[in-house]
Amino acid sequence: MSVLKTLILLPALALSVPTLAQDKVLNLYSSRHYQTDEALYEGFTKQTGIRINRIEAGEDALIERIRNEGARSPADLLITVDAGRLWRAEQLGLFQPVRSALLESRIPASFREPAGHWYGFSMRARVIAYNKARVQPAEVATYAALADPKWQGRLCVRSSSNIYNLSLMGALIENMGAAQAEGWARAVRANMARDPKGGDTDQLKGVAAGECDVAIANHYYYARLARSAKADERAIADQVGIVFPDQAGRGTHVNISGAGVLKHAPHRDAAVRFLEYLASDEAQRYFADGNNEWPVVPGVRVTNPVLTALGAFKYDPLNVAVLGRNQPEAQKLYDRVAWK
């Protein structure tokens, strides 16, 4: 169910753009459902005096809502996870380009859309998890290693329609070509211990339970288990090791959480200020400490103990906008190899 705040308590027709434009307010549509983000919003309001009205829902629902609202939409900014979803919104013409010297100086080029339609603010790595009792980390040092027949019946992974796997395949297509990427996907499909199901946490639980020996997951799902207040969840993390693949090659595939200013934003200046705030050291630390995501701004000090323990790693410098561009081909490729 959506979390509806001040913005939606008013009748839609009463939210005239001229009236809204005079208010010191920002209307944010967000598909990030992390309680820890409250610190981000409070920090921005404290620093700027700009009040944030927020609607939270799934990304597809929000994108459809923005389309339906059209030019009279009260929304200023869309924030969501994964470059593939930002690309979808961009393709529908929902964003306007933003040029900001601050954003361009602080956010590396690989984490922003080249024309400025959206910017990434936190980084998540697609890692390989393994059962410490059964697997040596050197055995899964690359994504390519997962195609080895030795893993037949030993691999857990979620559905091909999941945006994280679509983006991973988008990167593989770009880096190795479609034919080789399809060969990898076919071999990985043959190695699965079960049909794809559940989320990334379920894959980690499968590894800990011995249902499979290796899995693909985003790093912060592991970090959540490792930092959990529940002993049984910490016990799962204790049995699982994490590998950042391809450290001797291009580096680990990474993705982002990001945001863009909407085409008809009635408070454009406030929206740009919020984007710039998300690139501040303060906000970057919130991403790391609150939701176990890495900052995208270089040099920001991370104090999250799990991230610190995982250590620094080399990431693939591919511009994340490519992940969305390759998304349709990635889905067709997965379908051809029957990766459900």
In this prediction, residue 20 has a pLDDT band, given cuts at 50, 70 and 90, of very low
Q: What is the DSSP letter of 210?
A: T
Among 231, 230, 226, 291, which Cα is nearest to 257's? 291
Helix axes 281-291, 268-278, angle to 10 degrees: 70
- CB-side neighbour CA atoms (13 Å) of 170: 27
Over 70: is that where the pLDDT of 83 sits? yes
Does pLDDT of 18 surpass 50? no
Question: Which pLDDT band holds residue 37 (cuts at 50, 70, 90)?
Answer: confident
What is the model's pLDDT at position 36? 74
Indicate if the pLDDT at residue 17 is higher than 80. Answer: no
Helix (H), strand (E) at residue 215: strand 214-218
- Give the DSSP H or E segment for 155: strand 155-156
Residue 6 has pLDDT above 60, yes or no: no
Crossing angle of helices 327-336 and 163-176, in 10° steps, is 100
Q: What is the dihedral of CA 255, 259, 262, 263, to 10 degrees?
A: -50
State residue 23's pLDDT score: 66
The two tokens of residue 136 are: 């040596």
Calpha distance 111→104 (Å, rounded): 10
* pLDDT score of 3 more than 50: no
Residue 73: pLDDT above 60? yes
Q: In what helix (H) or strand (E) does residue 207 lie, and over which residues does it extend?
A: helix 200-209
φ, ψ dihedrals at 131, nearest 5° = -80, 120
Residue pLDDT, tens place only, 257-268:
999 999 999 999
Q: Give ranges for CATH 3.40.190.10 in the chain.
A: 3-123+256-303, 124-252+320-336
Q: Please report which helix (H) or strand (E) contains residue 20, including its range.
A: helix 17-22
pLDDT at 38: 87
For the cut 90, the answer to whether the pLDDT of residue 339 exceeds it is yes
- Taking alpha carbons only, the member of 141, 156, 128, 131 closest to residue 240 is 131
Give the domain 124-252+320-336 fold: D-Maltodextrin-Binding Protein; domain 2 (3.40.190)
- The predicted pLDDT at position 11 comes to 31
- The tokens for 46 are 């404290």
- The mean pLDDT value for 85-102 works out to 96
Mean pLDDT of 189-207: 97
> 21: pLDDT confidence band, cut at 50, 70 and 90?
very low
* The pLDDT value given to residue 7: 35
Q: Is residue 254 scored above 90 in pLDDT? A: yes
Superfamily of chain region 3-123+256-303: Periplasmic binding protein-like II (3.40.190.10)
Amino acid at 264: H
Q: Which two tokens stand for residue 320?
A: 């994340």
Express each pLDDT in 122-141 by its tens digit.
999 999 999 999 999 999 99
Q: For 48-79, b where at least 16 C-beta lie within 10 A, e where not — what string?
A: bebebbbbbbebeebbebbeebeeebbbbbbb
